[in-house]
Structure 1
Amino acid sequence: MDYIQESDFTVLEEGFTARGLIEKIINDASQTEERDAFLVGDMEEVVKKHLHFLKTLPRVKPFYAVKCNNFRPLVKLFAEMGTGFDCASKSEIELIKEIGVNPERIIYANPCKQISSIKFAANNGVQMMTFDNELELIKVSENHPKAKMVLRIATKDSKSSYCMNAKFGAPLNTCRHLLETAKNLNIEVIGVSFHVGSACSDPQLFAQSIEDAHLVFDIASEFQHKMTLLDIGGGFPGIMEAKISFEEIAAVVNSALDKYFPEGSAVDIIAEPGRYYVASAFTLAVNIIGKKIVQQDAPESHGERNDPCKSVFYYLNDGIYGTFSRLLFRRCQHKLILHKEPSPKQPLYMSSLWGPTCDPMDQIAEHLYLPELCIGDWLLYYNVGAYTVVASSTFNGFHPPHIHFAMSLQAWEDVHLLKRGFEQAENTKKN
């Protein structure tokens, strides 16, 4: 195991917080001309989320969704805490293997895989992988005959902000044929998976999907498939402002599992949380690198503090081709905080925020009423840990912001306790 080192993190002294680290970095940068955007990842937040997951969903083992945020120190932290990993590509499998994770802790959870990637998984001992159609089964039978397949079923995800089933998922009326095909191809099917969509707003979707999975388990038994795995996917909220809480979803999931897959049923339950763990753990600090004032002819006033005489364009050193990439899909819940607390008497101006590239689509926000800011001022964005830098590019030659990882001493101790507990459990299984 390539253990995490203190050098991977800034280990915070008692009483010092991740926000304090942000302030220190800003103060240091403000003494120079290099006021580059940067991220701070609060790993204490991740550790707390993990402990809460284990307590709230005690029968469910998390397989962290690497696609959500693949920074190496972060995935090493998950490896130390004993999670599994949901990988979607050859590169993600390579990353997890490189940090010393046993391939039994990896599920290749992409229902559509390139043949060379299937062979790579086979050659590296990764056996669990998903499918949702007959042609995928044929590909796997020809290139990874020892695979342990997981049938991904379609769900009703219309109440999620990011629907998955338009692309993936086998309708229930096709499952019998797929299970029979797998049997004829001599391919082992070990379980069922589903995904209710990201930012799910109705916990009952989990209950319905678990019930549907139970039905597929019954069908699989007709073809002598030994079903031992249920993968309940992701869709768990990662921020306080979510429409429903993680606890509400957990209550529904626990009830449905007790009904359809009770303890003693010899079925392992896993999930693929991503944004749940990391969305709220990362904060972005961006600097105002440019400013343009536009005089208004005959504007309307919208409140006592709002000054209608001008609007202001602010240009930042990160944008939609970087950390704000999710704005392209209007799926972004980043929370803006002004670094300098404004006076309640300052007038507010209609403002827009723009990224650093030459593309006019690189707009972060518009129609904001802000006090007048200056070139060199900082803005902070919370909740930027999920699907941000991983989806960024180097368009116009701009690179993703540097990342600082922080961890409290208490979190550091919690990780080592989790590590020892995981190792003891693994040794018990071997013996």
Structure 2
Amino acid sequence: MSAVLDMGVEPSRIVYAHTCKLTSDIRYAAQVNVDLMTFDNQEELRKIKAAFPSSRLLLRIDPPSNFKVLHELGNKFGCHPLDASSLLRTARDLRLNVVGVSFHVGCGAENPEIFAAAVRSAATVFDEAQALGFHFHILDVGGGFPSSLVSFGQVAEVLRTALDLHFPDKRKVRIMAEPGRYLVETAFSLTVTVIAKRRASPRVASNDDSMEGSKGGEVFGYYVNDGVFGSFNCLYADMAHQFLEARLVNPTKSPEKYGSNVWGPTCDGIDKILSDVMLPELQVGDVINFEDMGAYSLSTASGFNGIPRPLVLYHCCDTVWKKLFPTDTLTEDSEQ
């Protein structure tokens, strides 16, 4: 909250969207007037009653469970829609101001219809709330918007149709969303440098060798200056990154490729980025690039073993810069 407020964002535009909060953080939200927050259980309601009774609340409901997603969130957050009425009665008894519903379908949904199903559930809760005397006017459709599995256009069409059906304009419901991954995943690339190498066996693979043929016969181990305790933590924390592709910045013209492992810089044996991949022979100082590394990568870096977090450099080509800032004059610093 303080980070966003320091950027000049008005408190009324901030949603404290964690359903299980520290009481001290609820008090801080009250101090800085961030009064819109979520809940999904009775204990949270009692905490909010004690620490910030004048806040506005969103009831977070479980997403539908009959759809496949890479990262399920309903197992940790959200109440079952069938339990919504009971929670709303508790909120009414505590004289708390519940103003709407939120949900998050999870990350990496393979079927965009999961959004339509979640909107239907939210509409049912809206109707139940009205019967209990609440006036709901906010719907937060969460995140989970795709950047790779299905197109954003498909999801947008499904979501728009569901919202038009269940929340037409006449209901005067404010719709919010949290499109985090969609905005950042493809916006960043990660570049690493080979800092060491070692030969493990003499077998050389031809261009026609498949990955299966290289198993058990790795030739080279390469060590780079970032790993799973840094930006590549996503290999464990985020299933969407389990199939990374290494792209050589200055590839060799040699046709020979070798079975290879790519390791991170720490002393831990689990710090492996790629296993049994076919690469040309690399040298210390060579540079490898990994695309689409904007989600759950640097944000989860730990600095384990004293390895510093990677440096972030921002790049914008002339044509894009001029479209964004047509009256701005490019300098040597801004070009870099």
> TM-score of the superposition, structure 1-length normalised?
0.70
For residue 139 of structure 2, what is the aligned residue in structure 1? 230
Higher RCO structure, 1 or 2 (CA under 8 Å, sep 6+): 1
Q: In the superposition, relative to structure 1, how do residues 192 and 316 fare at CA in structure 2: closer, same or farther (>3 Å)? A: same
Q: In the superposition, relative to structure 1, how do residues 411 and 147 fare at CA in structure 2: closer, same or farther (>3 Å)? A: farther
> What code does the residue aligned with 1:267 have?
V
For residue 59 of structure 2, what is the aligned residue in structure 1? 151
For residue 371 of structure 1, what is the aligned residue in structure 2? 280
Paired residues for 1:150-189 under 5 Å: 150-157=58-65, 158-189=67-98
Q: In the superposition, relative to structure 1, how do residues 165 and 302 fare at CA in structure 2: closer, same or farther (>3 Å)? A: farther
For residue 128 of structure 1, what is the aligned residue in structure 2? 36
Contact persistence 1:305–1:347 (CA under 8 A): no
Partners of 1:170 and 1:206 lie apart in 2 by 17
User: 5+ residue gaps in structure 2?
Assistant: 327-336
| Matching of residue 268 in structure 1 with residue 178 in structure 2 | no
For residue 164 of structure 2, what is the aligned residue in structure 1? 258
For residue 85 of structure 1, what is the aligned residue in structure 2? none
Paired residues for 1:12-411 under 5 Å: 93-157=1-65, 158-238=67-147, 242-296=148-202, 304=208, 311-329=219-237, 331-333=239-241, 334-343=244-253, 345-408=254-317
Partners of 2:317 and 2:3 lie apart in 1 by 26
User: Any idea what SS the aligned residue of 1:406 has?
Assistant: coil
Q: CA deviation at 1:415?
A: 5.7
User: 5+ residue gaps in structure 1?
Assistant: 1-92, 418-431
Contact persistence 1:305–1:346 (CA under 8 A): no
How many pairs does the alignment contain? 319
Partners of 2:238 and 2:100 lie apart in 1 by 34
> What code does the residue aligned with 1:226 have?
H
Q: Percent identity?
A: 36
Partners of 1:379 and 1:209 lie apart in 2 by 41
Q: In the superposition, relative to structure 1, how do residues 312 and 154 fare at CA in structure 2: closer, same or farther (>3 Å)? A: same
Q: In the superposition, relative to structure 1, how do residues 257 and 310 fare at CA in structure 2: closer, same or farther (>3 Å)? A: closer
Q: In the superposition, relative to structure 1, how do residues 144 and 290 fare at CA in structure 2: closer, same or farther (>3 Å)? A: same
Q: CA deviation at 1:160?
A: 0.7
Q: CA deviation at 1:410?
A: 6.0
Partners of 1:263 and 1:409 lie apart in 2 by 42
Q: CA deviation at 1:303?
A: 5.6
Partners of 1:325 and 1:375 lie apart in 2 by 23
Q: Which has the higher strand share?
A: 1
Q: CA deviation at 1:272?
A: 0.6
Partners of 2:206 and 2:325 lie apart in 1 by 54
Partners of 1:144 and 1:186 lie apart in 2 by 12
Partners of 1:272 and 1:263 lie apart in 2 by 21
Contact persistence 2:238–2:296 (CA under 8 A): no
Deviations 1:159-193 (A, max 9, x none): 11011011011001110011111111110011101
Deviations 1:335-381 (A, max 9, x none): 421111332x5211000100000000000010100110101100001
Q: CA deviation at 1:304?
A: 3.6
Deviations 1:260-293 (A, max 9, x none): 0012321010111111001111111100000010
Q: In the superposition, relative to structure 1, how do residues 332 and 293 fare at CA in structure 2: closer, same or farther (>3 Å)? A: farther
Contact persistence 2:261–2:276 (CA under 8 A): yes
Contact persistence 2:204–2:256 (CA under 8 A): no
Contact persistence 1:349–1:370 (CA under 8 A): yes
Contact persistence 1:335–1:383 (CA under 8 A): no
Contact persistence 2:186–2:294 (CA under 8 A): yes
Q: In the superposition, relative to structure 1, how do residues 143 and 256 fare at CA in structure 2: closer, same or farther (>3 Å)? A: same
Partners of 2:256 and 2:298 lie apart in 1 by 34
Partners of 1:155 and 1:143 lie apart in 2 by 28
> TM-score of the superposition, structure 2-length normalised?
0.90
Q: CA deviation at 1:416?
A: 7.0
Q: In the superposition, relative to structure 1, how do residues 189 and 416 fare at CA in structure 2: closer, same or farther (>3 Å)? A: farther
